[in-house]
Amino acid sequence: MRDFATGKDIVSYVALGDSFTEGLNDAYPDIGPDGAPRYRGWADRLAEALAAEAGEVRYANLAVRGKLIRQIAAEQVPRAAELRPDLITLCAGGNDIIRPGSDPDVVAAVFETAVARLARTGATIVLLTGADMAFQPGMRHLRGKIATYNMHLRAIADRHGCAVVDLWGMTVLQDGRAWSWDRLHMSAEGHARLALRVGEVLGLAADTDWNAPWPEAPAVDWRLARRADLRWARQFLVPWIGRRLTGRSSGDGRHAKRPNLDPLRPRG
């Protein structure tokens, strides 16, 4: 496809970030060679949409779950610059922002160094903001930090000529069905809607509306909701706190799922 902003043909795409871009929890139907789930996610879906329009794209996804902004800047950004793709998406800093005591001003400063390095490649760059998580009880207290960080990202995009996909403004994501059981990663439907939104920003045609209203949800018994809260705390929050206390990360020992610009053809 042709990027109407730059006049360039987009035939290669590199996605950078953490678990959000790696694709958790949008699993492919099969499993990987290690017996673990293989994740698709919005970036894979976007690459597939690009391939459907162009016939083929070369696609790399360097995102690894658990990565902090300094790790992404040090490990993924130089590799992306080396690959010199036509399109780069960057969604990063979320793991920093949710940590107690983190400063969105400091996180944004590191983010801008990464964007400045990527901008020198001449690629079309798309930045993604954080979503408004006020509807999630366990995330509501982070709303101010996320909003502050988002304002920084918009200013960085203006300074470096980047496009912005505003997740905060995607009110369709303020529904529990857009998110998976851990309340931090999107569901398959959430990933699908975000891929459509990024494609829209890039000028891709689509026969599905990312902003289509959700079907009416059935009423939820408050006792079932409380049980769900307890289950979430036991299965997600407690292990997350344990990793923070011991200095471990969910990405320890993991590598990018698509480290090279390999050809990707339309699905089917």
Taking only the tens place, the pLDDT of each residue in 110-122 is: 999 999 999 999 9
Assign domain 12-208+221-264 to a CATH class.
Answer: alpha beta
Contacts of 60 (CB under 8 A, 6+ apart): 13, 14, 15, 80, 83, 85, 256, 258, 259, 260, 261, 262
DSSP readout, 152-217?
HHHHHHHHHT-EEE-STT-GGGSSGGGB-TTSSSB-HHHHHHHHHHHHHHHT---SS-TTPPPPPP
Q: Which of 25-29, 107-111, 214-218, 236-240 has the highest mean pLDDT?
A: 107-111
267 pLDDT band, cuts 50/70/90, is confident
Confidence of residue 218 (pLDDT cuts 50, 70, 90): confident
- Single-letter amino acid, residue 246: T
Provide the mean pLDDT of the chain: 88
Residues 151-181 have pLDDT tens digits of: 999 999 999 999 999 999 999 999 989 998 8
Confirm if 149 and 160 have CB atoms less than 8 A apart: no
Res 4: pLDDT: 42
Backbone φ and ψ for 149, nearest 5 degrees, come out as: -60, -40
Domain ranges for the chain, please list them.
Answer: 12-208+221-264
pTM of this prediction exceeds 0.85: yes
Cα–Cα distance measured from residue 124 to residue 115, given in angstroms and rounded to the nearest whole number: 11
| Mean pLDDT computed over 94-113 | 95
What's the rounded Cα separation, in Å, for the pair 95 and 257?
19
The alpha carbon dihedral of 213, 43, 133, 181 has a sign of: positive
In terms of C-beta density within 10 A (0-12 exposed, 13-18 middle, 19 or more buried), how is residue 110 classed? middle
| pLDDT of the residue at 55 | 85
Q: What is the β-pairing status of strands 87-91 and 12-17?
A: parallel
pLDDT digits (tens, 9 = 90+) for 57-99: 999 999 999 999 999 999 999 999 999 999 999 999 999 998 8
Of 27-36, 73-82, 130-139, 233-242, which range is least confident? 233-242
